[in-house]
């Protein structure tokens, strides 16, 4: 299966300062390029966050709970 054939909702959350940020960005780009299933896909970069900030909110409360709730609320029915 190719990633651009995924029909399920996908949310990729990544801190912009994480050393692996490009992995998430590249995965998202590959998933939507040439796909007809893009309405339920989202890439959510978290400005200034490193990987561990997204475990529990980190020292700057980086997790955008409201955005996560909105995505799941509209895509998990």
pTM of the model: 0.86
Is the pLDDT at 77 greater than 80? The verdict is no
Domain that holds residue 9: 3-75
Q: Are 6 and 37 in contact (CB under 8 A)?
A: yes
What per-residue confidence (pLDDT) applies to 30? 95
For residue 58, give Cα distances in angstroms to 4, 6, 17, 41, 47. 32, 31, 13, 25, 13
Q: Are 18 and 51 in contact (CB under 8 A)?
A: yes
Please state the domain count of the chain.
1
Mean pLDDT calculated for residue range 42-48: 95
Is the pLDDT at 23 greater than 90? The verdict is yes
């Amino acid at each position: 299966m190719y990633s651009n054939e995924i029909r399920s909702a996908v949310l990729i959350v990544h801190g912009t300062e994480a050393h692996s940020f490009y992995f998430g960005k590249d995965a998202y780009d590959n998933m939507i390029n040439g796909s007809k299933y893009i309405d339920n896909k989202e890439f959510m970069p978290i400005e200034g966050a490193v990987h561990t900030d997204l475990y529990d909110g980190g020292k700057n409360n980086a997790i955008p709970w409201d955005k996560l709730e909105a995505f799941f609320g509209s895509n998990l029915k």
